[in-house]
């Protein structure tokens, strides 16, 4: 039985990754959170490439991309992100990374670098990949495409709670500001912007729980023969 290739795109904090993870478990697919890869590059950039003004030197980052080895490794059923053999899965969730990641994601060189990583993992099929440009650019031939959205207030509430659960203290106003800014940068960039692919199914989950969203997505997926 052939396993499906599923693309889940959408706005930040619509539950893309956690929902994809559950679907992957149910259907026996690999799950790839592509936002984690962009966050991984941003983590590297903050370590390697700051200028005197404490900003990221984008040219320096571009010329150092060949020093980056990002890979997911399995640990007790969980996929853990490693940068050059170091586990960075908690480090990539900090507000500092969230504040810088969308700028890094506008760089064509970064997108090209990660396109290769993403497609080579998807080659074998049987995968659910979540991000911003999966249905439109990374896997345009995916069997199923979904685009998730929710109101900004609902997303702020979810992200704020997530950060608190990770022990990261922040206020709802800064969380909302970061989400609005990232939505704007992600939607307006020239290369691979956040966009609903023409053949993607739109789901607004403002009023839905994660479980309900998961069930709705699963209701669209037929068993493959
Ligand atoms: O999904 P997450 O919020 O972790 O993604 C972080 C950022 O990575 C997004 O705001 C976006 O700038 C970038 N990203 C992207 N393309 C993807 C996945 C994430 O540009 N496929």
Question: What's the 223 CA to ligand 1 centre distance in angstroms?
Answer: 29
Nearest atom (ligand 1) to Cα of 92: 4
Instruction: Please indicate if the annotation marks 12 as binding a ligand.
Output: yes
**Rounded to two decimals, what is the model's pTM?**
0.93
Q: What is the pLDDT of residues 51-82, one digit of tens each?
A: 888 889 999 999 999 999 999 898 776 778 99
Q: For residue 80, list its beta bridge partners.
A: 73
Instruction: Please indicate if the annotation marks 16 as binding a ligand.
Output: yes
Region 152-180: what's the mean pLDDT? 94
Region 191-207: what's the mean pLDDT? 96
CA distance 125 to 178: 34
Question: What's the 32 CA to ligand 1 centre distance in angstroms?
Answer: 12
Residue keyed to tokens 């900003």: 55
Q: What is the pLDDT of residues 118-130, one digit of tens each?
A: 998 888 889 999 9
Nearest atom (ligand 1) to Cα of 34: 18
Average pLDDT across the chain, whole number: 93
- Mutate which of 105, 118, 180 for ligand 1? The one with the most ligand atoms within 8 Å of its CB, which is 105
Composition of the chain by helix, strand, coil, percent to 5:
50, 20, 30
**Ligand 1: which residue has its CA nearest to atom 3?**
12
Question: What's the 3 CA to ligand 1 centre distance in angstroms?
Answer: 25
Give the model's confidence band at 103: pLDDT under 50 very low, under 70 low, under 90 confident, else very high: very high
Q: Is the pLDDT of residue 153 over 50?
A: yes
Region 95-107: what's the mean pLDDT? 94
Instruction: Please indicate if the annotation marks 14 as binding a ligand.
Output: yes
Q: Which domains does the chain have, with CATH numbers?
A: 5-29+92-219 (3.40.50.300)
- Mutate which of 7, 19, 35 for ligand 1? The one with the most ligand atoms within 8 Å of its CB, which is 35
CA distance 217 to 61: 38
Region 98-118: what's the mean pLDDT? 95
Question: What's the 104 CA to ligand 1 centre distance in angstroms?
Answer: 10
Query: Strand 86-87 to strand 127-131: parallel, antiparallel, or no bridges (unpaired)?
Result: unpaired
Give the model's confidence band at 225: pLDDT under 50 very low, under 70 low, under 90 confident, else very high: very low
Nearest atom (ligand 1) to Cα of 133: 21
In 3D space, the residue among 95, 99, 92, 208 whose CA is nearest the CA of residue 146 turns out to be: 208
């Amino acid at each position: 039985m052939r396993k499906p290739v599923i693309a889940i795109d959408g706005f930040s904090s619509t539950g893309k990754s956690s929902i994809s993870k559950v679907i992957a478990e149910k259907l026996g697919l690999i799950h790839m959170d592509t936002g984690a890869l962009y966050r991984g590059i941003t983590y590297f950039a903050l370590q390697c490439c700051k200028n005197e003004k404490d900003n990221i030197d984008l040219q320096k980052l571009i010329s150092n991309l060949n020093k980056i080895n990002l890979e997911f490794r399995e640990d007790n059923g969980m996929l853990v992100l490693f940068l050059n053999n170091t586990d960075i899965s908690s480090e990539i969730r900090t507000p500092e990374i969230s504040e810088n990641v969308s700028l890094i994601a506008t760089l064509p060189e970064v997108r090209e670098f990660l396109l290769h990583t993403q497609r080579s993992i998807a080659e074998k099929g049987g995968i659910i990949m979540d991000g911003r440009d999966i249905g439109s650019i990374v896997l345009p031939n995916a069997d199923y495409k979904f685009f998730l959205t929710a109101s900004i207030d609902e997303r702020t509430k979810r992200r704020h709670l997530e950060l608190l659960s990770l022990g990261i203290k922040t206020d709802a106003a800064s969380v909302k500001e970061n989400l609005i800014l990232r939505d704007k940068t992600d939607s307006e960039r020239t290369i691979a912007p956040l966009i609903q692919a023409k053949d993607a199914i739109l789901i607004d989950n403002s009023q839905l729980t994660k479980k309900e969203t998961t069930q709705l997505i699963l209701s669209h997926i037929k068993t493959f023969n």
